[in-house]
Amino acid sequence: MSQSLLPLIVGLAILAALVFGLWLDLRQIRWVRRRRDAVPDTFAGRIPLEDHRRSIDYAVERLQLSMADSVVGSAATALLLLGGGFALLLKAVIVLAGSGYLAGLLLAGATLVVFGVVELPFAWWRTFRIEQKYGFNRTTFALFVADLAKGALVAAVLGTPLVLAIDFTMRNGGAFWWLAAWGLYVAFNLAMLLIIPTLVMPLFNKFEPLGDASLKGRIEALLARCGFHARGVFTMDGSKRSGHGNAFFTGLGPSKRIVLFDTIMASLTPSEIEAVLAHELGHFKLRHILKRMLFQFAASLLIFALLGWLIAQPWFAAGFGVAPDAASALPLASLILFLLALPAFTGWFRGFSNWRSRVHEFEADAYAAGQTNGPDLASALLKLHKDNASPSTTDPLYSTFKYSHPPTAERIARLQATA
């Protein structure tokens, strides 16, 4: 491939991904607006028309903000890759820190800061305008700033060893450095499953052992029936940031734990909470988590192999305006260029990954219905749907590419059919 052809291909890929994403968003906006004044048959008698209209308006505003976010984010990526922005950033880092490991850290950090600054106003508007308008936001400005500071600190503490290790393999690993880098990536992800639940999440939220003895007994009986062992059942103060509710399992091995948002504790009955947790247990018992991890690691191996080949080509870094001597002295620069361009090409596979995820969700629903009570799960899904102001209707093509979970109406219909 010629040096001049690469930026053209990448530019077209960024533009195509942006246009396709905006087109999907516009389809969804038109779809829900046309159905704003009538509750879909599946939810007739269950969701008041006023709540249905509110959920449509909420979805539209979030989509409009997401579209603006996509445009600005794509423009920032294009400016870095095709407008010479990354090459200038690299030159500045080399002037300040040379081309050693510190320079690699600075370059990676500066790139993250660029996108953090671009995303910041959208995160602020989403939190303090849209979420506030629809009654979901409980985040104060001080908490918003504290979360940003903590997030940056955690990223620096956890990301620095990984960046340094990959930089070392790129400099000293020979032709197959990418294989060693992939091994580091796998080890890092597995380590995060142990570290995040026990060390990182408590920095942002308060976790307390479940105090409801009756509910705890139900959950422990469920775990015994399913043959699942966890280090504990905890409640999390999710209400200090948002009115949205959730429940999840997290961790790996000795760090596995069950977490219930305090908001979900207030809205669901004990039998409904049990059914929701049985659904999450289904993902573990049916090996969905393991399958997803193995698929992720296999796909990442192919990506690292492609990266190893591309970086060896003289036209790769040069195509983005990076001088060959700078790319050779600071090999991490080529890795960052690759990661900046990659989403424009991989987004087209999202429909497949979403399809796999939706199949897993239906299977977990069926598992939960067998272990607890299907109508309880359907009732919980309906309550969460209403509490989160999720739209009760969606464009099928939009759902294919944007939803990793099936629409609530489809899940409830499956549960009713099974019952």
Q: Can you spell out the DSSP letters for 114-134? A: HHHHHHHHHHHHIIIIIIHHT
* 8 Å CB contact between 304 and 181: yes
Q: Which two tokens stand for residue 334?
A: 């080529």
Tell me the CA distances in angstroms from 73 to 89, 140, 236, one per residue in order.
17, 26, 32
Strand order in the sheet with 233-236: 207-209, 233-236, 257-261, 247-250
Catalytic pick among 131, 272, 274, 280: 280
Say whether 266 sits in a helix, a strand or coil: helix
Residue 232 Rama label (left phi>0; alpha psi -120 to 50; beta)? left
Rounded distance between C-alpha atoms, residue 58 and residue 38, angstroms: 16
- Evaluated on CA atoms 33, 37, 39, 41, the torsion sign reads negative
- Evaluated on CA atoms 77, 404, 219, 273, the torsion sign reads positive
Q: Tell me if residue 280 is catalytic.
A: yes
CA-only gyration radius of the chain, Å: 24
Tell me the CA distances in angstroms from 133 to 54, 171, 221, 235, 245, one per residue in order.
11, 51, 41, 27, 18
Q: Which residues are catalytic?
A: 280
